[in-house]
Amino acid sequence: MNERWLCAVSVAAVWTDPDAARLVDLPALNHPVQLEKWLGQLTFQDRLALSEEKRIQTQLLYGETVIVEDIVGDWAKVIACSQKSRKDSRGYPGWVPLVQLSMREQPRARQLVKVTAREAMLTERSGEPFLRVSFNTVFPSGLPQDKRLHVWTPHGWKLIRASAVEPVEEVAITNPLIVGKKFIGLPYLWGGVSSWGFDCSGFVYSMWKACGMILPRDACDQAEAGRSISLDQEDWQIGDLLFFREDEASSIHHVGIYAGYGRMLHAPSTGRCIEQIRLLGTEYAENVCSVRRVAE
């Protein structure tokens, strides 16, 4: 097929295969997606299985473009075009429920806007709420209306609070920590790239995306971005990426953002929340294997 479609729900999980979704995941497969219900009913073991049983690969934000390679029953085999991965040169592969995608073509727009608020509500022209969307969601924009802005969505033109978005080309934040700190306390979610939850590399990917830089989606690929920096902490700068592995024989399993003064901002693991910690005396301090600088 190789057709370009759009994500038609606020956040869609990209599953490893159609059999990866469980009965407990049904709210995450609907249109509209029921994120709060899904996350609220997941036990710690349910959440842990998303990673340990390799059920979820990543997520899509509303309006994000995918290449649909094939349709099998109620599922679409897709490539997430904007998420770089060694798994496919075109983007990140996986499966999404067909009901969560739209065939509608995205119009050409002179300007794109990005949600800079943690969350934002799309409304109808009448002011009636339509859909809550995540930080980093991108829309083609139209004319302003009072304190709102027309934006194009997979469901047609909607309105969004103008103060919740910024033109993509005008995003001037160069320090991902400024963005990332507003998510401290948000529970970790394997595969997450939205304000409903991030995993470690999804957090790094999303914070740098908010600053106008597109990094690869996974930590192992992010560890090849930018340039290598010494493991001597005196050489580290705020915003450097810190990578971790358990021993020399193992692969990279974690990434965080250096916050200066021996601290790191990161999404740690299932059952924990995004946090800023001091590295000294932690297991992380002993397992730093690589430092990369992706911005000068």
What tokens does 287 get?
């397992």
Looking at residue 22, its amino acid is R
Q: Looking at the domain covering 176-293, what would its CATH class be?
A: alpha beta
Active site annotation includes 155: no
Active site annotation includes 266: yes
pLDDT bucket at 45, cuts 50 / 70 / 90: very high
User: How far is 290 from 241, CA to CA, in rounded Å?
Assistant: 8
Q: Please report where in the chains the tokens 């304000």 appear, as a residue.
A: 195
Buried b (16+ CB within 10 A) or exposed e, 7-28: bbbbbbbbbbeeebbeeebebb
Ordered alpha helix ranges (H), the chain:
35-41, 44-52, 176-180, 200-210, 219-222, 283-287
Taking only the tens place, the pLDDT of each residue in 212-231 is 899 999 999 999 999 999 99
Q: Considering 7, 200, 211, 289, which one is annotated as catalytic?
A: 200
Q: Considering 7, 211, 266, 289, which one is annotated as catalytic?
A: 266
Active site annotation includes 254: yes
pLDDT bucket at 172, cuts 50 / 70 / 90: low
For the chain, what percent of residues have pLDDT higher than 90?
89
For residue 129, is the peptide bond before it cis, meaning its omega torsion is within 30 degrees of 0? Answer: no
For the chain, what percent of residues have pLDDT higher than 70?
98
Q: Considering 7, 81, 211, 254, which one is annotated as catalytic?
A: 254
pLDDT bucket at 104, cuts 50 / 70 / 90: confident
Which CATH code, of 3.30.70.360, 2.30.30.40, 1.20.1600.10, 3.30.70.20, is assigned to 3-102? 2.30.30.40
pLDDT bucket at 2, cuts 50 / 70 / 90: confident
Query: Which sequence spans correspond to the domains of the chain?
Result: 3-102, 112-170, 176-293
Q: What is the structure's pLDDT at 174? A: 65
User: How far is 96 from 67, CA to CA, in rounded Å?
Assistant: 11
CB–CB of 224/241 below 8 Å?
no
